[in-house]
Amino acid sequence: MARTYEVRTFGCQMNVHDSERLTGLLEEAGYVAAPANAQADVVVFNTCAVRENADNKLYGNLGHLAPVKARTPGMQIAVGGCLAQKDRGEITRKAPWVDVVFGTHNIGSLPALLERARVNDEAQVEILESLEVFPSTLPTRRESAYAAWVSVSVGCNNTCTFCIVPALRGKEKDRRPGDVLAEVRALVAEGVSEVTLLGQNVNAYGVEFGDRQAFSKLLRACGEVEGLERVRFTSPHPAEFTDDVIVAMAETPNVMPQLHMPLQSGSDRVLKAMRRSYRREKYLGIIDRVRAAIPDAAITTDIIVGFPGETEEDFVQTLQVVAAARFSGAFTFQYSIRPGTPAATLPDQVPADVVQDRYERLVELVNDIAWEENKSLVGTTVELMVAEGEGRKDAATHRLSGRGPDNRLVHFDPTPFGDRAAARDERRVEIRPGDMVTVEITRAAPHHLVADGGVLAVRRTRSGDAWEARTAAPSAPVVGLGMPAVGAPA
């Protein structure tokens, strides 16, 4: 009987994509996904060293699994990712029941390490110091049938004082444009209609082969891929965000009007201490130029509160930038010490109660602005890509969810617009994840929009077909009564 596996992922989008590769490797090696609520024979932790309490989360999870493993003959536990790269042999010292520890540069070794640990009956720790093979060459089991991550680079050449990623992911390594586009075309052939180009510093793409406009060229090239409806990217660095990228975004129809660009702080003094090689004026200038070229762009960001030495004046400057930029959303973080980063030893660590107060004030402002921006969309019509697994908590209302071109989340009533009763005798059209629906926004909240007026149109897509084919035992589909399909499958 085939051994079963479970992959538990912590951290950023890069880790999510790495977990898709780990899943692909395990399935190629003959493992099968463990059924829901069943204990897997192999549990893999893909860890993060950036998020708060990353160590505690890992060792807490490992502690819960220790008695399970003790009573389950043959069970194995593997730990990979950034925390594994950082802690190395410390993991098996603290948790000697762990069988395999592998780093960010050798995820492809996992099946062999599991087998070696089983045969030798001893833990295997393998951490490479640099990348030998670009991970996109590895088999991948993607989470979604209709949307996909595509790595254009790994690693980072920046030296932000709060960040440990360059030490764990290494210097930036870029894929050749032809390799990226070949993967995009292959994904589209499989039914994918949305790709997100992924890199630690995605707009620095091309630095390794000496083309400063490589990223804007890549965006334009993605625009020529037939069948690719939506292109996104994350995350760019403001210091290297150039006007050719803005022009490419504006002129390439399938590049979505969305930008996630980390701010971190609105204070020039704090940005300098963070070693962020831009200042507030440059950042706001980029925002202005993006909005001039793409008026309907939704811009989101990352902000850290309470960086060492941050004063009330520094914090107020951050609030000022937030008010000027009018972000549609922000990931806000309270600074906490990360061992191994330069900021960990900086003087003037901000007291926890002060950090908490500033954090609450920032979140309040961010939410107020996001809500105002969302309210301005009430009454507009938007085409959504129907999502799987998002926003179904309000099951009593029978809403589905989807993402607009600007990546805003919209919960929508899947029944047809108009008189439901009159439509009941008309043709029923299934609405599947990956299909496109047109709705009118009826209500706004700080973090999502609502379309309760029903669906104006449904466009069945190859992505929806791919989702249907991939779903081994599909549940009863949600249908829109009397809604004609718009056009042939894309």
Could you report the per-residue pLDDT of 133-182, keeping only the tens digit for each? 777 777 788 888 999 999 999 888 999 999 887 778 788 889 999 999 99
- Report pLDDT for 480: 33
213/158 same-domain check:
yes
Residue matched to tokens 């900086």: 346
Binding residues for [4Fe-4S] cluster: 12, 48, 82, 156, 160, 163
Last residue within a domain, chosen from 376, 410, 428:
376
List pLDDT tens digits, range 4-58: 999 998 878 888 888 999 999 999 999 999 998 899 999 999 998 876 677 788 8
- Total domains in the chain come to 4
CA distance 8 to 74: 19
Q: What's the CA dihedral at 163, 138, 194, 372 to 10 degrees?
A: -20
List pLDDT tens digits, range 431-449: 999 999 999 999 999 999 9
331/231 same-domain check:
no
Output the pTM of the full model: 0.84
Q: Which domain holds residue 296?
A: 281-376
CATH number at 463 reads 2.40.50
Binding residues: 12, 48, 82, 156, 160, 163
- Report pLDDT for 163: 87
- Report pLDDT for 249: 98
DSSP run (H or E) holding 401: strand 400-403
360/393 same-domain check:
no
Residue 279 corresponds to which amino acid?
R
- Report pLDDT for 429: 62
13/80 same-domain check:
yes
366/386 same-domain check:
no
Q: Tell me which residues of the chain have a pLDDT lower than 50.
A: 392-393, 419-428, 473-490
**Is residue 72 domain-resident?**
yes
**Is residue 265 domain-resident?**
no
Last residue within a domain, chosen from 376, 396, 414:
376
**Is residue 262 domain-resident?**
no
- Report pLDDT for 166: 77
Nearest in space to 441 (alpha carbons), one of 384, 390, 485, 386: 384
**Is residue 488 domain-resident?**
no
Tell me the three state secondary structure of residue 270: helix
356/451 same-domain check:
no
CA distance 203 to 153: 10
**Is residue 263 domain-resident?**
no
151/250 same-domain check:
yes
366/405 same-domain check:
no
371/395 same-domain check:
no
CA distance 251 to 174: 24
Residues 6+ apart with CB under 8 A from 182: none
**Is residue 131 domain-resident?**
no
Backbone angles phi, psi at 396, to 5 degrees: -65, -25
Beta-sheet strands, E only, within 55-157: 76-81, 100-102, 124-126, 147-151, 153-154
Task: Report whether 242 contacts 212 (CB < 8 A).
Answer: yes
97/152 same-domain check:
no
Q: Which two tokens stand for residue 45?
A: 């932790």
What's the first-to-final CA gap in the chain, in angstroms?
Answer: 40
**Is residue 155 domain-resident?**
yes
Sheet of 258-260: strand order equals 258-260, 298-305, 329-334
Residue matched to tokens 């160590």: 55
**Is residue 217 domain-resident?**
yes
CATH number at 341 reads 3.30.750.200
27/120 same-domain check:
yes
CATH number at 238 reads 3.30.750.210
- Report pLDDT for 466: 92
155/248 same-domain check:
yes
Strand 436-440 vs strand 381-386: parallel, antiparallel, or unpaired?
antiparallel
